[in-house]
Amino acid sequence: METLAISSVGRVELPDADRLKVFLMHGGVTVTGGDADRPTLDVAEVGGLPLHVTRHDDGTLEISHAPRAATDAEARSLYGRADLRARLTLSVPRIRDVDVRTADGDITVERVAGTVTVFSGEGRVLLVDLAGPAEVVAHNGRVEVLRADGPLNVVTSAADTTVVEATGSMRLRTTSGSLDVDAQPQEGAHVQLAAASGAVRLRLPDLADTVVRLESAGGRVHTTFSQLAGFSQLAGGEPGGAVEATFGAALRQVWVQCSSGDIALLRAEPAG
């Protein structure tokens, strides 16, 4: 196990690793996939305590304010310290799995082909050009996903979520945030969107070979797809109701559920 302490700004070449884990209290983290053989770290800000970079024997590279030798109680005592800040930019090979967690800070992960895991207490989460599976847990702030091919799982409390150009399966759930999704689900994909009190807007290119289920207990359900125009639940615009329909060979599934929010299922505008 190798450990490096960083207490000043600058660039550091990091040891090779299979997985990357970053744990920060305040600040921000940007992780970008690339073709380099080894990861590099650019530190724009570090305060409170030095950053500890540890390369574990299992191939995990961990970056945190907590020293590896700290006890659990000592590590927990760091939470809530406003002086623990860092702003980091990491360049990693595309094959690396990435796990980034912050209590209060923005997180960006782009062009990563491995598994991406993100936890955000408060701040913006931006995921761009992901080929592998991604999982996000966010409380307050905003989650944005731009171009994702792998399975996507997002859980938020009050954070709003926007997804653009997603082709794989996705499961998005929120308590009081909104969900705004532009999906192009491929064969075998399952799109599941659920909101307690937030609104859900889903855009699809068509409904060919798709099973569709829309359900809102207290909100309205609206669609621009003519294939669903005959459903009485959509005609009157009254709150509440469920719609279920199967088109073609049922090669993909779309399921949207709200407790009190509105649902809008829209035909996506052609590109260009």
Tokens of 240: 């509440």
The amino acid sitting at 218 is G
- What pLDDT shows up at residue 34? 86
Is 102 in contact with 123 (CB distance < 8 Å)? yes
Q: How far is CA 34 from the centre of its chain?
A: 20
Give me the residue label for tokens 């912050």.
102
- What pLDDT shows up at residue 235? 47
- What pLDDT shows up at residue 226? 85
Tell me the whole-structure pTM to 2 decimals: 0.91
The amino acid sitting at 60 is T
pLDDT tens track, the chain, 272 positions: 678 899 999 999 998 888 999 999 899 999 999 888 888 999 999 998 889 999 988 989 999 986 654 445 555 566 667 788 999 999 998 778 999 999 899 999 999 989 999 999 999 999 999 999 999 999 999 999 999 999 999 999 999 999 999 999 999 999 999 999 999 999 999 999 999 988 999 999 999 999 999 988 888 888 889 888 766 555 455 666 778 889 999 999 999 999 988 899 999 976 65
Task: State the sign of the Cα–Cα–Cα–Cα dihedral 12, 13, 17, 20.
Answer: positive
How many other CB atoms sit within 10 Å of the CB of residue 178?
Answer: 19
Instruction: Determine phi and psi for 9, rounding to 5 degrees.
Output: -75, 160
Please choose, from the candidates 151, 168, 20, 27, the residue with its C-alpha nearest in 3D space to the C-alpha of residue 94: 20
CA atoms within 13 Å, Cβ hemisphere of 26: 13
Please choose, from the candidates 202, 242, 257, the residue with its C-alpha nearest in 3D space to the C-alpha of residue 225: 202
DSSP secondary structure string for all residues of 24-44:
EEEEEEEEEEES-SS-EEEEE
Which residue blocks in the chain are alpha helix, DSSP H?
A: 72-76, 232-235
d(CA 147, CA 142): 17
d(CA 29, CA 126): 10
d(CA 52, CA 39): 16
Convert 40-52 into a string of H (helix), E (strand) and C (coil): EEEEEEEECCCEE
Instruction: Determine phi and psi for 207, rounding to 5 degrees.
Output: -115, 15
- 238-to-107, 130, 202, 233 alpha-carbon distances in Å: 40, 39, 20, 8
d(CA 161, CA 144): 6
Map residue 179 onto helix, strand or coil.
Answer: strand
d(CA 108, CA 98): 11
